[in-house]
A and B are shown apart, each in its own frame.
Chain A
Amino acid sequence: MNNQNLFSTKGLLLVAKRAVLFTLLFSIMNCTDDKQKVVNFTNLVLAEEFDVNGPPNPEVWSYNIGTGQNGWGNNELQYYTDRPENVTVQNGYMIITARKESFNGSQYTSARLVTKGKFEQQYGRFEARMRLPWGQGIWPAFWMLGADIDDNPWPGAGEIDIMELRGQNPNILLGTVHGPGYSAGQSISKSYTLPNDRFDTGFHIFGIEWGPNYINFYVDDVLYNQITPADVPGEWVFNKPFYILMNVAVGGNFVGSPNTETVFPQTMLVDYVRVYN
């Protein structure tokens, strides 16, 4: 009886996911205008649905552990771990949890997952359906780095931020690219304010459609930016494979530190990560 219920719930979920997908496809296909070159990627090549409880699929995901250099280059405050306290798959979601706790000299812990060496791709549609954390100093991100980063250090390798959000601005999404001559404060970025809603109270689909010489940024059925070589004041470094990163950072230059008003723990729920080519 219980099993049956479980199956029917899962079935519903699947149907719901497909419905959203369909709507999205439908919307995107209808979103084109003559200013935007849109190629549709419909061949699903990666579908992380997080349907198996436990650690995330090790064939796709590995971890950045620790504090990196200077808090991963941003003076971030968290210590990244691969403990279930910081990342786990439960009930159809990958849950990344930022906690306030003393751990190996840091005051916060969290997790950062990467597909480096496991899933890398040039061009395609990359999207994730997520519910984001909130509060001063909380910095969730779904982003990508150039797969040649070991030989071609940042920012030369290129970075595509599909979703970044400052927890103190819970309704403002940022989509950004970094490259040589346009990184950090000089990155090419655009924000999108969710009308009469916010990103921490429900699930939203964050994605890019990325092809030769363009990256289109969208959330749900809204295409809110296109970046092309004409928009960047340096070399276009996005015609090569990239890998995916997902994390919840705490503090750092981009968001500032948490304060007494920040509620911990904070969770980012990831319903799925899907990539098409």
Chain B
Amino acid sequence: MKNLTIKHIAIVILSGTMMCTTTSCERGLSEDAEFATFPKNPDVFIDGFSGGLQYLPFGGSKLDAFKVDTQTKYSGTSSMRFDVPNVNDPGGAFAGAIFPDMAGRDLTGFDALTFWAKATTSATINEIGFGTDFGENKFQTTLNNMRISTAWTKYIIPLPDPSQLVAERGMFWYAEGPENGNGYTFWIDELKFEKLGTIAQPRPAMFAGVDREEQTFIGAVIPITGLTQTFNLASGINQTVTAAPSYFSFRSSDTDVALVNENGVVTVVGEGTAEITATLNGVRASGSLSIESLGEFLQAPTPPARNPADVISVFSDAYTNIPVDFNNGFFAPFQTTLGGAITLNGQNIIQYTNLNFVATEFKNPTINISQMTHFHVDIFISEPITTGDFISIELGDFGPNNVFGGGDDSARRIQFPSTSLSRNQWISLDIPIADFALASRNNLAQIFFISDGTISTILVDNMYFYR
């Protein structure tokens, strides 16, 4: 009875479609035409490799970390056994591999990758999921920091959007390092794609759900990170997975200001404001990117050509730079400063936001500036400058012992008050090193910028010492 009704409706819809097709005089599909489809095989590893499945370990990983184990298994005759190496294992620093079926499979009928797993000890598996094929990894999906225990437990990795997985090659992948330096073993069994029907309430996110604001220039390139999909499972757990950009549809509110491509990379193309948002399978992602583009980026003045012996460059495209450990140490808990090195129109610069203080550090090795006479830096401030605002520049030397601390360190700062700062133009500073009056200049390791929050955002370029 029900079938009859459905058939009837189907015929009505079909004939409707046919009429449309006929009247619009386009070439329709013949009734015999069939779309090519990929196998819908749900099994990845039940009691052995499913048809077409390969094992491809990551370079640098312990190549024999994976074995088929017939002794320990959840059900059937065998399981997948993974031996995570100890620290300093000559065989490899970690365990990790992909298990692709290069012929591709149609996963659109499933909503989760599921498996049973246990380990010799409680541990946290760094990354586990599917969608990697050593190619585009277009639909890579990763469960990060999966807790595992010594008891067989069923795990569920939801598919962020099954409808896109029409020809997926990456059936399974994982990467795990030692736990506190120690290796251990975990097992996975009954690894397969399933249609659970209880994967629901999707809540995708970009930038991990944060509404970000960026003040920037034409030519800036900003990758969207923190792309996740969260589902509520039948167990009541909200399960979040990291989802590749290709699952998402990105949108720019003003394509004259910013463009966003299918890989979630934003390019600023004009002056003005634009909001970048995303949807996943029709559901609006939480989080956004608000861009305020100040227009054409004014490059910092190009430093003059110098004899290499006359310059020690920390950050500049004009000279060869020394090895730098970081441009932002994110010193907890007092530092608020965000940002670091970025690329604008092919030029490397540093952008600091939420500035209170921040350090660039270069202690591997430290540098000897005793033969140099000046420190140069270019600073750009786009926000209004008010009385009381300042930028201080501090040089830090690790002293004769050449390591931080030990009572011989020497750090001195020079403050530039609001009256010496100007907005929307590069401020080029050439400070005599003698003005810093450092006790030691042989083991310099740090350059600080300090505003105590009076100035929030600065661009920095061309940090070097010269004579």
A interface, CB within 8 angstroms of B? 134-136, 166-171, 195-198, 200-201, 261, 263
B386 interfacial by beta-carbon distance below 8 Å: no
Query: A167 vs B200: C-alpha distance in the bound complex, in angstroms?
Result: 13
Give the residues in chain B near A170, CB-CB below 8 Å. Answer: 198, 200, 232, 234, 236
A263-B234 contact in complex given A196-B195, A196-B196, C-beta closer than 8 Å = no
B21 to chain A: closest CB distance in Å?
Answer: 25
Query: A168 vs B237: C-alpha distance in the bound complex, in angstroms?
Result: 8
B231 to chain A: closest CB distance in Å?
Answer: 11
Find the A residue at minimum CB distance from B197.
Answer: A196
Find the B residue at minimum CB distance from A166.
Answer: B236
Q: Please list the 6 inter-chain residue pairs (A to B) with the smallest Cβ-Cβ separation, ordered nearest first.
A: A168-B236, A196-B197, A197-B197, A201-B200, A261-B238, A198-B198
Contact check, A167 vs B196: say whether CB atoms are below 8 A apart.
no
Interface string of B215-240 (1 = CB under 8 A from A): 00000000000000000101111100
Interface of B is mostly: loop
Query: A150 vs B163: C-alpha distance in the bound complex, in angstroms?
Result: 55
Give the residues in chain A near B232, CB-CB below 8 Å. Answer: 134-135, 170
Give the residues in chain B near A134, CB-CB below 8 Å. Answer: 200-201, 232
Query: A261 vs B239: C-alpha distance in the bound complex, in angstroms?
Result: 10
Contact check, B236 vs A200: say whether CB atoms are below 8 A apart.
no
Pull 18 A–B residue pairs with CB atoms less than 8 Å apart, ordered by A.
A134-B201, A134-B232, A166-B236, A168-B235, A168-B236, A169-B234, A169-B236, A170-B198, A170-B200, A170-B234, A195-B197, A196-B195, A196-B197, A197-B198, A198-B200, A198-B234, A201-B201, A261-B237
B interface, CB within 8 angstroms of A? 195-198, 200-201, 203, 232, 234-238
Query: A45 vs B236: C-alpha distance in the bound complex, in angstroms?
Result: 38
Give the residues in chain B near A171, CB-CB below 8 Å. Answer: 198, 234
Give the residues in chain B near A263, CB-CB below 8 Å. Answer: 201, 203
A129 to chain B: closest CB distance in Å?
Answer: 19
Query: A197 vs B234: C-alpha distance in the bound complex, in angstroms?
Result: 9
Contact check, B236 vs A198: say whether CB atoms are below 8 A apart.
no
Query: A134 vs B198: C-alpha distance in the bound complex, in angstroms?
Result: 12
Of B197, B234, B236, B238, chain A has the most CB atoms within 10 Å of the CB of B236
14 more contacts with CB within 8 A, not counting A170-B200, A195-B197, are A134-B200, A134-B201, A135-B232, A166-B236, A168-B235, A168-B236, A171-B198, A198-B198, A198-B200, A200-B200, A200-B201, A201-B201, A261-B237, A263-B203
Give the residues in chain A near B203, CB-CB below 8 Å. Answer: 263
Choice from A136, A195, A196 contacting B236 with Cβ under 8 Å: A136
Find the B residue at minimum CB distance from A168.
Answer: B236
Give the residues in chain B near A196, CB-CB below 8 Å. Answer: 195-198
Query: A201 vs B234: C-alpha distance in the bound complex, in angstroms?
Result: 12
Query: A2 vs B195: C-alpha distance in the bound complex, in angstroms?
Result: 40
A22 to chain B: closest CB distance in Å?
Answer: 11
Query: A231 vs B171: C-alpha distance in the bound complex, in angstroms?
Result: 50
Find the A residue at minimum CB distance from B233.
Answer: A170
Find the A residue at minimum CB distance from B5.
Answer: A19
Give the residues in chain A near B238, CB-CB below 8 Å. Answer: 261
Query: A200 vs B235: C-alpha distance in the bound complex, in angstroms?
Result: 14
Query: A134 vs B200: C-alpha distance in the bound complex, in angstroms?
Result: 10
B190 to chain A: closest CB distance in Å?
Answer: 18
Give the residues in chain B near A166, CB-CB below 8 Å. Answer: 236
Query: A171 vs B236: C-alpha distance in the bound complex, in angstroms?
Result: 10
Query: A261 vs B201: C-alpha distance in the bound complex, in angstroms?
Result: 13
B8 to chain A: closest CB distance in Å?
Answer: 14
Give the residues in chain B near A135, CB-CB below 8 Å. Answer: 232, 236
Query: A60 vs B320: C-alpha distance in the bound complex, in angstroms?
Result: 82
B372 to chain A: closest CB distance in Å?
Answer: 53
Find the B residue at minimum CB distance from A135.
Answer: B232
Choice from A136, A198, A261 contacting B197 with Cβ under 8 Å: A198
Give the residues in chain B near A195, CB-CB below 8 Å. Answer: 197
A268 to chain B: closest CB distance in Å?
Answer: 14
B237 to chain A: closest CB distance in Å?
Answer: 8
A191 to chain B: closest CB distance in Å?
Answer: 13
B114 to chain A: closest CB distance in Å?
Answer: 13
Query: A170 vs B197: C-alpha distance in the bound complex, in angstroms?
Result: 12
Give the residues in chain B near A200, CB-CB below 8 Å. Answer: 200-201
Find the B residue at minimum CB distance from A261.
Answer: B238
B167 to chain A: closest CB distance in Å?
Answer: 25
Give the residues in chain B near A169, CB-CB below 8 Å. Answer: 234, 236
Give the residues in chain A near B235, CB-CB below 8 Å. Answer: 168
Find the A residue at minimum CB distance from B111.
Answer: A196
Query: A200 vs B234: C-alpha distance in the bound complex, in angstroms?
Result: 11
Of A170, A195, A197, chain B has the most CB atoms within 10 Å of the CB of A170
Query: A134 vs B236: C-alpha distance in the bound complex, in angstroms?
Result: 8
Query: A198 vs B196: C-alpha distance in the bound complex, in angstroms?
Result: 10
Query: A170 vs B203: C-alpha distance in the bound complex, in angstroms?
Result: 16
Query: A167 vs B201: C-alpha distance in the bound complex, in angstroms?
Result: 12
Query: A122 vs B198: C-alpha distance in the bound complex, in angstroms?
Result: 37
Give the residues in chain A near B198, CB-CB below 8 Å. Answer: 170-171, 196-198
Find the A residue at minimum CB distance from B237.
Answer: A261
Give the residues in chain B near A198, CB-CB below 8 Å. Answer: 197-198, 200, 234
Query: A130 vs B238: C-alpha distance in the bound complex, in angstroms?
Result: 23
Query: A166 vs B232: C-alpha distance in the bound complex, in angstroms?
Result: 14
Query: A195 vs B234: C-alpha distance in the bound complex, in angstroms?
Result: 11
Query: A170 vs B235: C-alpha distance in the bound complex, in angstroms?
Result: 8
Give the residues in chain B near A168, CB-CB below 8 Å. Answer: 235-236
Give the residues in chain B near A197, CB-CB below 8 Å. Answer: 197-198
A131 to chain B: closest CB distance in Å?
Answer: 11
B209 to chain A: closest CB distance in Å?
Answer: 12
Of A166, A167, A171, chain B has the most CB atoms within 10 Å of the CB of A171
Query: A118 vs B119: C-alpha distance in the bound complex, in angstroms?
Result: 60
Query: A54 vs B237: C-alpha distance in the bound complex, in angstroms?
Result: 35
B194 to chain A: closest CB distance in Å?
Answer: 10
